[in-house]
C-alpha cells in the first residue's frame, strides 16, 4: 500500500497548482476579473453584461483559428444568433 500522508498530498497539490497550464488558467481568470471590475466602474451593468454572452462566440472563433476545430453551419448559425441577441439586448 503506497504512503499517502498529508505531506504527500500537499506536495501533489502544489505541483498541480504550479503546472504552467493550470497556473495560466488561474492568472487569466484573475486578469478577467480585474478587467470586469474596471468595466463596471465605466459602464452600467445593463450595458456591459450582455457582452458576456459573446464569450462562446469568441471561443468558437479562436478554436477554429488556433486549434483547427470544425467549422459547421450549425455552429455558424449559433454564432450569428449570439451576436444578434447581444445587439438586440444592448440596443433595445
User: Is the pLDDT confidence value at 2 over 80?
Assistant: no
> Per residue in 26-72, pLDDT tens?
999 999 999 988 988 888 888 788 888 888 888 888 999 999 999 89
**What local confidence, expressed as pLDDT, does residue 44 receive?**
84
CA distance 64 to 52: 20
What is the residue whose three cell numbers read 465605466? 42
Residue environment code for 23-41, b if the CB has 16+ CB neighbours within 10 A, otherwise e: eeeeeeeeeeeeeeeeeee
> Per residue in 9-23, pLDDT tens?
888 889 988 899 999
pLDDT level of residue 77 (50, 70, 90 thresholds): very high
**What local confidence, expressed as pLDDT, does residue 24 receive?**
93
Amino acid at each position: 500500500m503506497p504512503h499517502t500522508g498529508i505531506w504527500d498530498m500537499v506536495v501533489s497539490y502544489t505541483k498541480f497548482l504550479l503546472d504552467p497550464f493550470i497556473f495560466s488558467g488561474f492568472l487569466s481568470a484573475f486578469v478577467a476579473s480585474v478587467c470586469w471590475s474596471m468595466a463596471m466602474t465605466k459602464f452600467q451593468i445593463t450595458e456591459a453584461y450582455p457582452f458576456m454572452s459573446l464569450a462562446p462566440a469568441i471561443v468558437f472563433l479562436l478554436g477554429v483559428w488556433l486549434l483547427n476545430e470544425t467549422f459547421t453551419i450549425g455552429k455558424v448559425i449559433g454564432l450569428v444568433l449570439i451576436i444578434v441577441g447581444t445587439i438586440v439586448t444592448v440596443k433595445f
